[in-house]
């Protein structure tokens, strides 16, 4: 399944249809699965509940898959006579009724699956600029669970008021910003996070809710679990949760009438999640823009190489001089003339493989050193006597 190509939703639904255990989980267990894969925090690192192997799926592709699986679980556990795909399209049509431009390019779609794929693609906010990819939008994607909660209400009541989504975001804004504000000493990072969070909201209230009002409007268990986890995420974002932040989160759990064990588990999980995955989450890694560029480019090149490995190796075999130079590059530094030959011949090969066309665009040559780094994995072991078989 390739979530970046057409037909992926139909394939996903076919593959998951026999997984009754996943579709019939208890609601709280399903929520913890969404949290464990990173969906709740906007940093998707795995497929929810590991129902599929993630293989080489990128973060935005994982986000698409997890969003659809969350919708599917909600539809399966809420009475609705409308087919799943059609119901999600109806939901997004209702929630975006004043934003018709969102759907202008859907009119030519032939099937409901095709329409939904386009909707989901637009809904996932991953910056196409590789310099900032996965950096600016993790908070926007952390708010995707608002869609799931609103969809649940839509299925239960048959209609959805835009006021529900607005109110839910207002509650989140009040409580999450309150968690950040609880820090004894706020630094520049905290101020940047506040601005980033405020700019990520779809709806903006001129007059923010009071804390007590926000708590009183939080009605369901899922809303409480979600907002508590977001508050913990915001508190941990600088890798330090001070005593005032702990007090704020503990009081929030108490005000939500959640057990102390539930609140402590939320704090512990967020700490564990970000500690384990700190190098995989760009924003929380506090990396400079150059390091973010390199890391994200490296992921992209690795994905392209792995997906085109057979075709690429076949093309390399037909270019004996290039193959020799690439094999030598694993042992010594190529001279400028050899590097130029490698660059020219690689670009010629990339012209014959459509999905590698990015490398022949202006600036694409900057990624060639990364390509050469990954290509030795494709070469026969005879070319690299230092390779250790894994």
In a domain, 272, yes or no: yes
Highest mean pLDDT (candidates 95-99, 134-138, 256-260, 324-328)? 256-260
Residues 272 and 317 in one domain: no
Residues 185 and 115 in one domain: yes
Residues 197 and 319 in one domain: no
Neighbour-count burial of 112, counting CB atoms closer than 10 A to its CB (0-12 exposed, 13-18 middle, 19+ buried): middle
Neighbour-count burial of 334, counting CB atoms closer than 10 A to its CB (0-12 exposed, 13-18 middle, 19+ buried): middle
Question: 325 versus 370: which is more confidently predicted?
Answer: 325
Lowest mean pLDDT of 15-19, 35-39, 125-129, 265-269, name the range: 125-129
| Nearest to 84, CA basis, from 72, 93, 94, 73 | 72
For residue 330, give its domain range. 308-383
DSSP secondary structure, 23-58, as one string: HT--HHHHHHHHHHTTGGGT---S-GGGSS--TT--
Q: Quick check: 179 pLDDT over 80?
A: yes
Buried b (16+ CB within 10 A) or exposed e, 148-164: bbbbbbbbeeeebeeeb
In a domain, 189, yes or no: yes
User: What is the mean predicted confidence (pLDDT) over 30-59?
Assistant: 92
Q: What is the pLDDT of residues 153-173, one digit of tens each?
A: 999 988 776 788 888 989 998
Q: Quick check: 270 pLDDT over 50?
A: yes
User: What is the mean predicted confidence (pLDDT) over 16-44?
Assistant: 91
Q: What is the pLDDT of residues 124-149, one digit of tens each?
A: 855 444 333 433 456 678 889 999 99
Residue 74 to residue 78: CA distance in whole angstroms: 6
Question: 8 versus 357: which is more confidently predicted?
Answer: 8
Q: Quick check: 330 pLDDT over 90?
A: no
Q: Quick check: 29 pLDDT over 50?
A: yes
pLDDT at 320: 78
In a domain, 94, yes or no: yes
Q: What is the pLDDT of residues 49-60, one digit of tens each?
A: 999 888 889 888
Residue 284 to residue 193: CA distance in whole angstroms: 10
Residue 258 to residue 255: CA distance in whole angstroms: 8
Q: Any idea what DSSP says for residue 219?
A: -
Residues 255 and 367 in one domain: no
Q: How many domains does the chain have?
A: 2
User: What is the mean predicted confidence (pLDDT) over 10-24?
Assistant: 89
Grade residue 386 by pLDDT with cuts at 50, 70 and 90: very low
User: What is the mean predicted confidence (pLDDT) over 298-317?
Assistant: 76
Highest mean pLDDT (candidates 31-35, 205-209, 273-277, 332-336)? 31-35
In a domain, 289, yes or no: no
Grade residue 23 by pLDDT with cuts at 50, 70 and 90: confident
- Residues in contact with 348: Cβ distance below 8 Å, sequence separation at least 6, in sequence order: none
Residue 186 to residue 180: CA distance in whole angstroms: 8
Grade residue 309 by pLDDT with cuts at 50, 70 and 90: confident
pLDDT at 131: 34
Residues 116 and 216 in one domain: yes
Q: What is the pTM of this model?
A: 0.69
Q: Quick check: 46 pLDDT over 80?
A: yes
Residues 231 and 375 in one domain: no
pLDDT at 303: 75
- Average pLDDT of the chain, as a whole number: 78
Residues 220 and 317 in one domain: no
- CA dihedral 167→201→155→52, nearest 10 degrees, is -140
DSSP secondary structure, 322-346, as one string: HHHHHHHTTTSPPPHHHHHHHHHHH
Grade residue 339 by pLDDT with cuts at 50, 70 and 90: confident
Residues 243 and 375 in one domain: no
In a domain, 112, yes or no: yes
Q: Any idea what DSSP says for residue 281?
A: -
Q: Which residue has the tokens 């804004």?
A: 173
Percent of the chain with pLDDT over 90: 31
User: What is the mean predicted confidence (pLDDT) over 299-308?
Assistant: 75
pLDDT at 138: 60
Q: Decide: 54 and 46 in contact? Cβ < 8 Å.
A: yes
Grade residue 363 by pLDDT with cuts at 50, 70 and 90: low
Q: What is the pLDDT of residues 196-244, one digit of tens each?
A: 666 666 666 656 789 999 999 999 999 999 999 999 988 876 566 678 8
In a domain, 298, yes or no: no
Neighbour-count burial of 346, counting CB atoms closer than 10 A to its CB (0-12 exposed, 13-18 middle, 19+ buried): buried
Residues 190 and 260 in one domain: yes
Buried b (16+ CB within 10 A) or exposed e, 169-194: bbbbbbbbbbbbebbeeeeeebeebb
Q: Decide: 179 and 248 in contact? Cβ < 8 Å.
A: yes
């Amino acid at each position: 399944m390739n979530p970046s190509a057409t037909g992926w939703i139909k394939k996903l639904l076919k593959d998951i249809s026999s997984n009754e255990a996943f579709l019939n989980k208890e609601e709280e267990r399903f929520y913890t699965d969404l949290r464990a894969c990173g969906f709740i925090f906007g940093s998707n690192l795995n497929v929810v509940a590991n129902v599929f192997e993630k293989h080489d799926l990128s973060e935005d592709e994982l986000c698409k898959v997890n969003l659809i699986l969350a919708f599917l679980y909600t539809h399966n556990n809420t009475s609705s006579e409308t087919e799943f795909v059609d119901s999600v399209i109806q939901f997004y049509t209702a929630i975006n009724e004043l934003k018709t431009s969102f759907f202008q390019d859907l009119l030519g779609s032939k099937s409901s699956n095709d329409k939904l794929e386009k909707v989901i693609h637009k809904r996932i906010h991953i910056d196409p600029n590789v310099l900032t990819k996965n950096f600016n939008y993790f908070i926007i994607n952390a708010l995707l669970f608002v869609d799931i909660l609103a969809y649940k209400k839509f299925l239960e009541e048959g209609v959805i008021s835009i006021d529900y989504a607005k109110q839910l975001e207002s509650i989140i804004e009040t409580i999450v910003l309150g968690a950040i504000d609880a820090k004894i000493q706020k630094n520049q990072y905290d101020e940047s996070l506040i601005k980033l969070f405020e700019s990520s909201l779809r709806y903006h209230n001129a007059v923010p809710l009071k804390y007590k009002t926000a708590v009183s409007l939080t009605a369901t268990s899922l809303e409480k679990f979600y907002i508590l986890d977001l508050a913990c995420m915001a508190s941990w974002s600088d890798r330090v949760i001070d005593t005032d932040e702990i007090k704020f989160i503990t009081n929030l759990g108490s005000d939500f009438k959640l057990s102390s064990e539930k609140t402590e588990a939320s704090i512990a999980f967020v700490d564990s999640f970000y500690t384990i995955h700190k190098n995989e989450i760009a924003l929380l890694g506090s990396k400079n823009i150059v390091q973010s560029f390199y890391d994200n480019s490296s992921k992209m090149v690795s994905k392209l190489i792995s997906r085109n490995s057979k075709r690429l190796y076949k093309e390399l075999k037909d270019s004996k001089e290039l193959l020799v130079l690439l094999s030598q590059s694993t042992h010594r530094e190529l001279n400028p003339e050899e590097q130029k030959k490698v660059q020219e011949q690689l670009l010629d090969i990339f012209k014959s493989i459509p999905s590698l066309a990015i490398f022949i665009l202006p600036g694409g040559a900057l990624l060639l050193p990364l390509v050469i780094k990954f290509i030795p994995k494709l070469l026969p072991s005879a070319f690299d006597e230092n390779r250790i078989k894994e």
